[in-house]
Structure 1
Amino acid sequence: MEVHLRASAADTGVSGLRYEQLRTVYEETAADLRHERGGLKHAVWRFTSQAM
């Protein structure tokens, strides 16, 4: 899962973060968008895993 999350984040210019920091970015972004905290990570993982 981490590989897909990192790849997606890197596509947006976010790189070099520890996993805990990256997880926080996804969770805070989800909260800003009024989505479930883990839902955004799962959606990104699902999308990027199908694209690879």
Structure 2
Amino acid sequence: AGGSGAPGPCEVPEEFLDPLTCVLMRHPVRLPDSGIVMDRSTIERHLMTHAVME
């Protein structure tokens, strides 16, 4: 507390959070076309629930 501006023990930097789920990424993966970093589980869940057109 003290107002030092330092993150507390439960605060996580935004770049460590998955941009879709806002959950701490355990296995970050950078997407090749966009450069966006997402958690592997988010990508896998998307691929399992949405048809992929080739």
| Bigger proportion of residues as strand | 2
TM-score under structure 1 length normalisation? 0.29
TM-score (norm 2): 0.29
Relative contact order, CA 8 A, sep 6+: which one is greater? 1
Whichever structure has more helix as a proportion of its residues is 1
Question: Which structure: larger Rg?
Answer: 2
